[in-house]
Amino acid sequence: MKTIRNICATLTLGAILASTSVVAAPIYNTAIPPSATLKYKVTASYHGMSLSGSSAMQWKTNLKTYSVRDSTTVTFFGNVLNSASSGTVSKIGLEPSNYAETKLHKKFSASINQATGSFKPSDGDDRIPFSGQVQDHSSVVWQLSAIANGNRDSFVPGSSYHIQVIGHRGVRNWTFRVVRNETLSTPAGKFKTTVVSGNNQKNQTMTLWLAKDNYHYPIQLYFKDNNFESRQTVNSIR
């Protein structure tokens, strides 16, 4: 059971985006991508154990509000993650107000108040302050997509972006760098992508392949945390 919990903990952004001291992140121009549902093939390894499965990400927006829902299923363990984020859309992108996740039947949620700069985790008694705009474990992927759409001329190799993400006990600073352009073959076809790699100085990394001609949708996602790594590659976009 301990091994299962460790695997499921690292299968998600929730485990990778934990808490530490933070500095207010800069504000970036954004252009919100249109609604879509992306389905992925999942491959992963943990201490040499190979895992496979599927995931789905449902993104909805009317350019005033947004919601995103994620679900991941892997062999042997079944459904290991359900998460949901919702909030408003402004000129600086996504402003989450509610986040909830269930990992292996363990639940966590947070209510986020961007105006007062604080959030209330379900596993804590007090509101936790933050400085500037923050994202949650689901919204951060789509905020990067919105930043890429809003900065097409400058979203190029060598550029970097700083984003705060809430965790169970606080927020963590993440730095995302555009590392290269790459044509990626997937079950859904070939895509011209911009590859963005992020880290939080805790031996945890996340890499996104954003489709340049498809609103910078995240068509591939790669996560690494010590002895665990996973890759989600798009099967379909609709």
The pLDDT tens digits of the residues spanning 133-147 come to 899 989 999 999 999
Q: Which domain does 190 fall in, by range? A: 2-237
According to the model, what pLDDT value does residue 15 have? 45
pTM of the model: 0.89
Helix (H, G, I), strand (E, B) or coil at 228: strand
Q: How many domains does the chain have?
A: 1
Q: Distance between CA atoms of 62 and 203, rounded to whole angstroms?
A: 37
Q: Cβ(136)–Cβ(16) under 8 Å?
A: no
According to the model, what pLDDT value does residue 12 have? 47
Q: Which residue has the higher pLDDT, 211 or 9?
A: 211
Tokens of 219: 């068509």
The pLDDT tens digits of the residues spanning 155-183 come to 999 999 999 988 776 788 899 999 999 99
Q: Which residue has the higher pLDDT, 4 or 125?
A: 125
